[in-house]
Structure 1
Amino acid sequence: MSDSPVPPFAAELAALAATGQLGTLQYGALLGELAERYGPPRAWGRVFHEDRWPRWYSYGSLQLIFCACRRLKSISIPVWHGELELPGPGVGELRTVDSRITESQVTAALADADVKWTVLTYPNLHDQRTLQVELSEDVRVDFVLVDREAYDEPVLDDWLLCKAGLWGQPHDCPKTD
């Protein structure tokens, strides 16, 4: 375990890695059902200009992508902001969380949740690594870590969580429009 206590949001992220859910947001959730639970999301438009779908939406700071069959295919959590607005608990409500989380806090939270992960490193990105959790054959949760707060800052002993995300492999959507 870590000397750092596990912050509440790190525990929420570990629950996402363990269950694939952040509240009722989960891979494959229907856009209409989420709108009933949280209110209508903010629409940002097409992911690709030439295609009607997939499309970007958001609830507070959470960036969501829905496919043509209106199912959630990706959640991106921009942790680097330091403070996030997340949906809930009520319809149309947002709650604020402190999102400054270190690698030791992430790994302690994952260990507490009995979640196994793989460390991915990149030969051309020495200042970044990813902790990846395989929820199923088609669905992953990633925790992207960086070694410093800014490019002109010194390297940290305990890397920082920069971004978290839930994503799945593409599927063939039935034609809906």
Structure 2
Amino acid sequence: MSFTNVLTALAATGGIGDFRPLASLEELAEKHGRPSDSGRGSSEHEWPYWLRYGDVRLEACECRIVHSLQLETWNDTVTIPADRFGEYVALEASTTFRHLESGLLVAGVSWTTITRRPDQFTLEVEAPHATVHFTFVTGGDDEESGKDDALLYGVTAQEFTHWCGQS
């Protein structure tokens, strides 16, 4: 399994295996064990709550439904949950736009490019039940500076359909 394959599947499905927006925290814990870390989203309120399974960070509402998934990709490796209870897989995290673009094209996944700063851009993908953002850093001062070799900095997948009043 390559990290590019994991990211391509995330774009196509909105999740990393069972870890996805609208997943049940109880079902994730039953299948994958307890999170490696967790905490409150705010010191003033009990919810939203965040949980971490390796480098996959989830945010959940009071209904214990995952609202968003984040993946920090700026380290050398990324640790993601495996399909087996309590196990993780470490993958090389260094991914360029060219690598991800290749995977997305092969998978037939389309995207929109969003540029808010000259040294970074984001690919926005509409996956089932979630919007996925892949943010890249170019290191240049103009929009096209090193775009093919831009490094993936972070990934988010967020749902916009569940509403319990707490997220």
Structure-1-length-normalised TM-score: 0.84
Are residues 1:144 and 2:104 paired? no
Are residues 1:105 and 2:96 paired? no
Inter-partner Cα distance in structure 2 for 1:83 and 1:156: 22
Report how far residue 134 of structure 1 moved.
1.3
The match for 1:167 among 158, 162, 166 is: 158
Which segment drifts farther, 78-87 or 155-164?
Answer: 155-164
The match for 2:45 among 42, 48, 51 is: 51
Are residues 1:126 and 2:118 paired? yes
Inter-partner Cα distance in structure 1 for 2:89 and 2:111: 28
Which segment drifts farther, 70-79 or 87-96?
Answer: 87-96
Inter-partner Cα distance in structure 2 for 1:140 and 1:174: 20
Inter-partner Cα distance in structure 2 for 1:121 and 1:148: 14
Inter-partner Cα distance in structure 2 for 1:115 and 1:156: 23
The match for 2:84 among 86, 90, 96 is: 90
- 1:69·1:174 contact (CA, 8 Å) conserved in 2? no
- 2:37·2:53 contact (CA, 8 Å) conserved in 1? no
Q: Which residue identity is paired with 2:137?
A: V
- 1:46·1:53 contact (CA, 8 Å) conserved in 2? yes
The RMSD of aligned alpha carbons is: 2.2
- 1:45·1:55 contact (CA, 8 Å) conserved in 2? yes
Percent identity between the two aligned chains: 34
Report how far residue 44 of structure 1 moved.
2.5
Number of aligned residue pairs? 162
Partner of 2:35: 41
Deviations 1:142-167 (A, max 9, x none): 10000139xxxxx6451111111111
Please state whether the residue corresponding to 2:10 is helix, strand or coil: helix
Inter-partner Cα distance in structure 1 for 2:64 and 2:75: 28
Which runs of at least 4 in structure 1 moved beyond 3 Å after TM superposition? Answer: none
Change (3 A) 1:174 1:160: closer
